[in-house]
Amino acid sequence: MWVVTIAIIGFIGAWKRNRYMLLTLKCCGGVNASDWKTVPASCCASGKEGCKDPYPVGCAQATYDLVKGYFLTSGIITTLLCIVELTAVICACILAHQYKNYDKV
């Protein structure tokens, strides 16, 4: 029973997220609107099912463009974090070396 409940909750969550993605990215279908037999309301700017002018961009391309837009930013942040970590390791090594050479009173 527990597994069925989790599966149903997961299905509902995926369905809602898919609709959210369609509305946020303003995309329709994987490649374009022709992926659907009948164009859903989430593919239309008007929000009405069966519209004549669905979003022309497919969700695969829209998702790629979204990730591509954040790729440079995340790369820069990752590089800066690596530099900070490397600096911390070097400082720790210098401190350990100085502690070893410190004369005890």
Which residues are CB-contacts of 38 (< 8 A; sequence separation ≥ 6)? 49, 50
The residue behind tokens 């990730």 is 67
Domain annotation covers residue 86:
yes
Structural domain of 56: 2-100
Q: Mean pLDDT, consecutive 10-residue segments, the chain of 105 residues?
A: 68 64 78 81 76 84 86 93 98 89 65
Domain annotation covers residue 105:
no
Domain annotation covers residue 89:
yes
Give the pLDDT confidence score for residue 50 in this predicted structure: 67
Domain annotation covers residue 18:
yes
Tell whether pTM > 0.85.
no
Number of domains in the chain: 1
The residue behind tokens 């995309």 is 27
